[in-house]
Structure formats: C-alpha cells, structure tokens
C-alpha cells in the first residue's frame, strides 16, 4: 500500500487548462459548462494527467466530469482524483451521467463504488449519448 500512496504523493488539482484537455482522447464527451461548474487540471509530479470537475443542476447537485489522458489510464488516477475533488468540495453525494455503451466508464465507476440509479431520471438532453446516471455517497 505504501507504493500506491507514494505514486500519488504529489497529486494536485490545479487551474483548469482547456488547451491540455483537448489532447485527451474523447475529451468531447465531457459536458463542460464553465459558468455553472468548477474544473481542474489533475497534475502529478508536474505532469498533466487529466481534467476533473463538476457541473451543478437546477437542484445544485454536483455532476462529475472527468477525463484521464490516455497515457495515464489504469493507474489509479480516476479514483484518487475523484476522492480529492470530493474532499476539496465536501461533497456528501456525487452524480455521474454516462452512456450505457461506455463500458469502461461504467466499470471504473462501479469499481469505485458508484451505483446505478434505478428511478426515473431527468437527463439533460444536451448531453452527448448519455442515458444512465450513477451516484456515490461519501
């Protein structure tokens, strides 16, 4: 476990870099509303790893937005970055809207303990190819 902690010792959420975000494969799947959300660049040892943030809906519920750069996927950054975001903003519950066809994202969320919502949900029609909502209590 010490090795894992060491890998994330210098992980930080820094000011959002839109130019960097555009280097991430499939970044266009993120639904950024900069006037209604808060976004960060994920940095580890001075290297840009990905972007993370959240939008809020009309009920002020936080909806996760995250994209890890393809060179850094499957290394634990997804989970660690979400935990940092939750701690920084003191979230009790975090939501995430995902496409049912994005099995990689679904598995990553489930591995971290997110649950699929089963009740009737109102998904923003502006979202690209999104048809499932997940949540996690912290």
Output the pLDDT for position 4: 46
Output the pLDDT for position 129: 62
- Mean predicted confidence (pLDDT) in 17-28: 90
Q: Under DSSP, is residue 64 helix (H, G, I), strand (E, B) or coil?
A: strand
Q: 1 falls in which pLDDT band (50, 70, 90)?
A: very low
CATH number of residue 21's parent domain: 3.40.630.30
Residue with the bigger pLDDT between 61 and 130: it is 61
Residue 45 to residues 51, 54, 72, 74, Cα–Cα distance (Å)? 15, 24, 13, 17
Place of tokens 């049912």: 100
Residue with the bigger pLDDT between 111 and 6: it is 111
Number of domains in the chain: 1
* 115 has a pLDDT exceeding 90: yes
Instruction: Give the tens place of pLDDT for each residue, 67-100.
Output: 999 999 999 999 999 999 999 999 999 999 888 8
Q: What is the pTM of this model?
A: 0.86
Between helix 103-111 and helix 77-89 the angle, nearest 10°, is 60
- Mean predicted confidence (pLDDT) in 20-33: 84
Query: Bridge-partner residues for 67, per DSSP?
Result: 51
Instruction: Give the tens place of pLDDT for each residue, 27-64.
Output: 877 777 767 789 999 999 999 999 999 988 777 889 99
Range of the domain at 6: 2-137
Output the pLDDT for position 125: 53
Output the pLDDT for position 7: 61
**Mean pLDDT estimate for the chain:** 85
Contact 87, 61 (CB under 8 A): no
User: Rounded CA gap, 130 and 46, in Å?
Assistant: 33
């Amino acid at each position: 476990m010490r090795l894992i902690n060491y890998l994330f010792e210098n992980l930080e959420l820094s000011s959002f870099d839109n130019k960097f975000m555009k280097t991430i494969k499939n970044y266009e799947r993120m639904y950024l509303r900069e006037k209604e959300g808060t976004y960060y660049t994920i940095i580890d040892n001075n290297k840009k790893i990905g972007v993370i943030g959240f939008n809020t809906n009309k009920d002020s519920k936080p909806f996760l937005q995250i994209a890890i750069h393809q060179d850094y996927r499957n290394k634990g950054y997804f989970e660690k970055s979400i935990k940092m975001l939750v701690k920084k903003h003191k979230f009790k519950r975090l939501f995430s809207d995902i496409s049912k066809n994005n099995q990689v994202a679904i598995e990553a969320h489930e591995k971290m303990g997110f649950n699929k919502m089963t009740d009737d949900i109102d998904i923003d029609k502006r979202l690209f190819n999104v048809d499932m909502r997940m949540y996690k209590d912290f």
